[in-house]
Amino acid sequence: MKKVIQTIAVMLFAIVLMPATTKAQLKLPQTSPKAQTMQVVGLTEIQIDYHCPSVKGRKIWGDLVPYDSVWRTGANEATVISFSDDVMIEGNKLAAGKYALFTIPGKSEWTIIFNKKKDLWGAYGYDKAEDVLRVKVKPLTNANNENLEFWFSDITINSCTINLMWEKLHVPFKVTTETDAKVMKLINDSVSVNPNKASLLRQAAGYTVTSGLHLDKGLEWINKAIGIKAEYRSYWTKAQVLAKMGKYNDAIDAANKTLDAGKDDKDFADMKSMVEKNIEDYKTKAKK
């Protein structure tokens, strides 16, 4: 019996020590730290998860990263890119989802690869049969960038450019979304259900201002909204639509109506100076 008790005591002591051993694991900084970048393009969220190596005086292209071989496009685990909606990559369709982002660097041309097998360490286990899309792009020269990084540029509601930058190389590729088509369908469906809702028509016209698209339709919507309910918000939206169309004298008229319609509204006070400033801007542009 005594021996049994001693055995149990040893086992309990070992169990007590186990968490201490686990806690003794050191969390140390990585040589190539993890990074993440995200951008919303219109309605589409794009995210890139990667590890960023440093140059450290090494020759990168054609040496550390060989030409004409599949590269993890970073360090450690394979770089992963995700899209919340279907997109076009350099004019080629790519379904919404999460992909490993591999590349094949070349002296004058790179291949960008979107692959379904994303849970890999580097390019080990890469399978060409799992490629969903490959596109060719041209690398550009750049000022020295010690750490590899991804960043977004040329962002509109319908597109952006994703840029890979490391050492003295810059590799861009274009992503296009279907934002405008989706928004216009949503607007047209909503307006068909609520054709006489002034606030909805004003919102629809406001989209044409922010996007710079469908301005003729935007003017039609805002004129209808004013016909239903003449209020300063709608007149101001009309002024913005007309200004986008380059019709500055008409925009001045609509902006003056904004001031008149809002003069007795306490909520208009903060907006008044902005409208007045824009009227002066429209007058200057109308003279050119």
Q: How high does pLDDT run on average in the chain?
A: 91
At 198 the pLDDT is 96
| Number of domains composing the chain | 2
CA 264 to chain CA centroid, Å, is 41
Q: Do 39 and 100 fall within a single domain?
A: yes
Distance CA 74, CA 86 (A): 25
| Tens digit of each residue's pLDDT (9 = 90 or more) over 206-260 | 999 999 999 999 999 999 999 999 999 999 999 999 999 999 999 999 999 999 9
What does DSSP say about strands 110-115 and 97-104: parallel, antiparallel, or unpaired? antiparallel
274 falls within a domain: yes
At 82 the pLDDT is 98
Distance CA 111, CA 115 (A): 12
15 falls within a domain: no
At 24 the pLDDT is 62
Q: Which domain holds residue 186?
A: 179-286
Are 187 and 204 in contact, with CB atoms under 8 Å apart? yes
Distance CA 66, CA 11 (A): 53
Strand ranges in 86-199 using DSSP code E only, listed in sequence order = 87-89, 92-94, 97-104, 110-115, 131-137, 140-153, 159-176
Are 257 and 273 in contact, with CB atoms under 8 Å apart? no
Q: Do 263 and 157 fall within a single domain?
A: no
13 falls within a domain: no
Q: Do 160 and 228 fall within a single domain?
A: no
86 falls within a domain: yes
7 falls within a domain: no
Helix 269-286 to helix 232-244 angle (10° resolution) is 30
At 31 the pLDDT is 79
| Tens digit of each residue's pLDDT (9 = 90 or more) over 29-43 | 777 889 999 999 999
Q: Do 167 and 235 fall within a single domain?
A: no
Q: Do 157 and 251 fall within a single domain?
A: no
Q: Is the pLDDT of residue 21 over 50?
A: no
Q: Is the pLDDT of residue 11 over 70?
A: no
Are 160 and 39 in contact, with CB atoms under 8 Å apart? yes
Q: Do 38 and 167 fall within a single domain?
A: yes
Q: Do 40 and 166 fall within a single domain?
A: yes
19 falls within a domain: no
Distance CA 244, CA 242 (A): 5
Q: Do 220 and 135 fall within a single domain?
A: no
Q: Do 84 and 194 fall within a single domain?
A: no
Distance CA 208, CA 218 (A): 6
The full length of the chain comes to 288
241 falls within a domain: yes
93 falls within a domain: yes
Q: Do 38 and 122 fall within a single domain?
A: yes
251 closest CA partner among 209, 200, 198, 214: 209
Q: Do 159 and 190 fall within a single domain?
A: no
Retrieve residue 150's tokens: 């991804």
Domain stop point among 176, 196, 213: 176
Domain stop point among 121, 149, 176: 176
| Tens digit of each residue's pLDDT (9 = 90 or more) over 153-190 | 999 999 999 999 999 999 999 999 999 999 999 999 99
CATH code for the domain of 235: 1.25.40.10
200 closest CA partner among 210, 186, 190, 208: 190
Distance CA 116, CA 121 (A): 14
Least confident of 7-11, 118-122, 223-227, 274-278: 7-11
Other CB atoms within 10 Å distance of the CB of residue 74: 26
Domain stop point among 176, 207, 228: 176
Q: Do 168 and 202 fall within a single domain?
A: no
Distance CA 262, CA 213 (A): 28
